[in-house]
Amino acid sequence: MAEQFDLVVIGGGPGGYVAAIRAAQLGMKTACIDEFTGKDGKPALGGTCLNVGCIPSKALLDSSKHYYHLQHHYADHGIQTSKLSFDVAKMLERKDGIVKKLTGGVSGLFKGNKVTALHGRGKLAKNQRVEVQLQDSDEVRTLESKYVILASGSVPIEIPGVAFDGEYIVDNVGALEFGEIPKRLGVIGAGVIGLELGSVWQRLGAEVTLLEALPDFLAMADRDVAKQAAREFKKQGLDIRLGAKVKSAEVKKSEVLVTVETGDGEEQMRFDRLLVAVGRRAYTEGLLSDDCGVELTERGQIKVDDDSKTTAPNVWAVGDCVRGPMLAHKASEEGIAVAEMIAGHPAHIHFDTVPWVIYTDPEIAWVGKAEQELKEAGVEYRAGSFPFAATGRGLALGHAAGMVKVLADAATDRLLGVHIVGPQASELIAECVVAMEFHGSAEDLARIVHAHPTLSEAVHEAALSVDKRAIHRIN
């Protein structure tokens, strides 16, 4: 006989596990199915983000940043070092420890909230029935539920002529596990994943070349921010090649031979390792039975409405498998909103105020519209900016590269976008998100007292600059 639940969630990533916890808090008998297995062979909740994405990459970024600054910047602080070395195995051990602690934390939260965790692959059938093929077992369990949330996530895109082999040609998972520092690392794609993981290994000594097919660097970011970021990355030694389309890649004698097409014709490049980071696609393989009623879009994503409802009754979908940005925090907030809607509470997500962050050094973060988007849409706006080099805290830290840019409606002064490249941009963007969520104006940011000396003063001064009244810079 099928087991009965109020809600079954398929997928234990940032969208799924958060939805399951919130549903349980709201009194629903909830089960969450996830198939991810950790390096120790045990179930590991948290999805791509906790296991092989957001968290481990930040751990490596932090380790490599310490090493890089020790080599290049600590002498300015009077700190002298000699015989500097790096232990890759120790770095990976630290990363794995962080991952295990956090995935174990999710498991503990499930137990504390009485969420039933099932380790296996879930498949949605007709009338909210879910079949679960348990891992390491021939057993298939059948669940019946009033409601279902699909949170199956995404997988890396593999491009024609460049097949993953897990050793020489890898996706983000492989790039987190290099046992030694590659002398030459090629990266296809200069987006978030390519820049972050490319930065990790470049800081540790690899010669890193990023091959970006698009003619513009970070096309989704504000142009001024992208230009400043590109200058800083090139100073650090990242070789960023735009308009470079990879035609093929093959492994020969422990090298990766890559054929690249540019405006000047074709050329061949050789690397010790090649990371393919051209984006991700919705993961729906084996998720849906033919009669379940859930439709997919032309892009292979699960079709949903503005409330994340699918085309099947009482079935919702959240996270990377649906429309919108593939961001962990977007997935989590969608999961919470859907759980609350199922429980009869009012809830929604305001996609216009979802922040973006790239955890390079300097960091890049933004919320709302970029200047080029406002121009294309014919929106009248005013802009203000302020450099971190004009802040006392930025100079004292020794990391003053970058700037804050504020965009406001020309008539109402309402904030339309804030863009930051610089130290701790990932944290500084939060006050801008709050201001925009509450329909704040540039004047609101300008009138708020910001502590001195802090990096947040750059946000304050950029808001003042919108009205040409910045204090610590000539307007």
Does residue 132 share a domain with residue 14?
yes
* 475 belongs to a structural domain: no
Q: Is residue 22 in a domain?
A: yes
CATH classification of the domain holding 421: 3.30.390.30
Same domain, 323 and 400: no
Q: Which of 66, 348, 350, 452 is catalytic?
A: 452
Looking at residue 358, what is its pLDDT?
98
Domain end residue (candidates: 231, 252, 278): 278
Whether residue 452 lies in the annotated active site? yes
Q: Are residues 272 and 371 in the same domain?
A: no
Q: Are 331 and 319 in contact (CB under 8 A)?
A: yes
Interior/surface letters 48-61, b for 16+ CB within 10 angstroms, e for the rest: bbbbbbbbbbbbbb
Give the residue from 84, 122, 96, 257 showing the smallest Cα distance to 186: 257
The amino acid at 193: I
21 DSSP 8-state letter: H
The residue with tokens 């059948």 is 142
Residues 107 and 238 reside in one and the same domain: no
* Cα gap 197→192, rounded to integer Å: 9
Neighbours of 304 (CB within 10 A): 24
Cβ-based neighbours of 226, under 8 Å, separated by 6 or more: 216, 217, 218, 219
Torsion of CA 56, 60, 62, 66, to 10 degrees: 160
Q: Is residue 403 part of a domain?
A: yes
306 and 202, same structural domain?
A: no
420-429 burial: b if 16+ Cβ within 10 Å, else e: bbbbbbbebb
Residue 12 in domain: yes
> Which domain does 204 fall in, by range?
169-278
Residue where a domain terminates, one of 296, 329, 349: 349
- Are 287 and 145 in a shared domain? yes
Give the model's pLDDT for residue 136: 84
- Indicate whether 84 belongs to any domain: yes
The DSSP annotation for 407-462 comes to EEETTT-BEEEEEEEETTHHHHHHHHHHHHHTT-BHHHHHHS---SS-TTHHHHHH
Strand order in the sheet with 207-212: 169-170, 273-276, 184-188, 207-212, 239-242
Residue 474 belongs to a domain: no
Q: Is 178 exposed, middle or buried (0-12, 13-18, 19+ CB in 10 A)?
A: buried
Q: How many helices (H) and strands (E) does the chain have?
A: 13, 21
Query: Is 102 inside any structural domain?
Result: yes
Say whether both 91 and 26 belong to one domain: yes
The predicted structure's pLDDT at residue 323 = 97
CB 246 within 8 A of CB 211: yes
Q: Are 257 and 383 contained in the same domain?
A: no
Co-location of 54 and 70 in the same domain: yes
The greatest distance separating any two alpha carbons of the chain, rounded to the nearest whole angstrom, comes to 75
Q: What is the pLDDT at residue 1?
A: 73
Whether residues 335 and 372 fall in one domain: no
pLDDT in tens, the chain (475 residues): 789 999 999 999 999 999 999 999 999 999 999 999 999 999 999 999 999 999 999 999 999 999 999 999 999 999 998 889 999 999 999 999 999 999 999 999 999 999 999 999 999 999 999 999 999 888 899 999 999 999 999 999 999 999 999 999 999 999 999 999 999 999 999 999 999 999 999 999 999 999 999 999 999 999 999 999 999 999 999 999 999 999 999 999 999 999 999 989 999 999 999 999 999 999 999 999 999 999 999 999 999 999 999 999 999 999 999 999 999 999 999 999 999 999 999 998 889 999 999 999 999 999 999 999 999 999 999 999 999 999 999 999 998 999 999 999 999 999 999 999 999 999 999 999 999 999 999 999 999 999 999 999 999 999 999 999 999 999 9
Shortest CA distance to 459 belongs to which of 411, 412, 402? 402
Our count of domains for the chain comes to 3
> Does residue 439 share a domain with residue 364?
yes
Give SS3 for 321. helix
- What pLDDT shows up at residue 267? 95
Establish if 161 belongs to a structural domain. Answer: no
Outline where 204-279 has alpha helix (H).
Answer: 223-236
Domain boundary among 330, 349, 368: 349
Residue 374 and residue 294: Cα distance in Å, rounded? 36
Residues 58 and 71 in one domain: yes
pLDDT at 98: 98
Give the CATH number for residue 219. Answer: 3.50.50.60
Query: What pTM did the predictor assign?
Result: 0.96
